[in-house]
Structure 1
């Protein structure tokens, strides 16, 4: 079990949830709305670059720690200024209901 110092949760993040609105043609438009402001710890994990359409975008994965929330769901994202971290998975690292660890992905142009 990894012990986390609550003082290490020093990054102010906005938790955003996806919202879908009908586009009038049978599809939907997806946007994101702020749900809450939380404090977290951002740990870079890995980076990879892959050529896509003649560009070389870099995808960086991060581990984001935060206090436990019952309303977190896949597809949500965290925003820190202009940076966006998409939540891929999340878990309670020691099953005590104190913290959550989110595996996130940040795309960089």
Structure 2
């Protein structure tokens, strides 16, 4: 098995709840660090959302593995940022039997 080509710098972000001052909460994103990754696109689909059409592109994002519980290990519900592009993480699994890499099953949503 060949090693993945980790050629893209992605910022891993975690959601955090902030008080809105009126008894409710808003969601913001906190950067956890930068990970080098290989991004592999899947086949996309188009769906209606509110008053617009959005395209959803499934992705496989491969990163170096990190121990469970460390901030540098992606988990479902987090996202990657690459400039203005956002990749929402749906699931994470080990890529190989030696657990050297992780596959993040993610989706990029683009308004069209």
Structure 1 and Structure 2 fold alike (TM over 0.5): yes
Q: Does residue 33 in structure 1 map to residue 33 in structure 2?
A: no
Residue 12 (structure 1) aligns with: 9
TM-score by length of 1: 0.88
Structure 2 unmatched ranges of 5 or more? none
Q: What secondary structure is seen at the aligned counterpart in 2 of 1:46?
A: coil
Does residue 105 (structure 1) correspond to residue 87 (structure 2)? The answer is: no
Structure 1 stretches of 4+ with a deviation exceeding 6 A read none
Structure 1 stretches lacking a partner, 5+ long: none
In the aligned structure 1, how far is the partner of 2:98 from the partner of 2:23?
44
Q: Residue deviations 1:56-98, cap 9 Å, x none?
A: 2111110000000233221110011110000000100224221
Once residues 9 and 94 of structure 1 are traced to their aligned partners in structure 2, the CA distance between those partners, rounded to angstroms, is 15
| TM-score (normalised: structure 2) | 0.85
Give a deviation string over 1:28-72, Cα, whole Å, max 9, x none. 211101101010000001210012334221111100000002332
Count of residues in correspondence between the two structures? 106
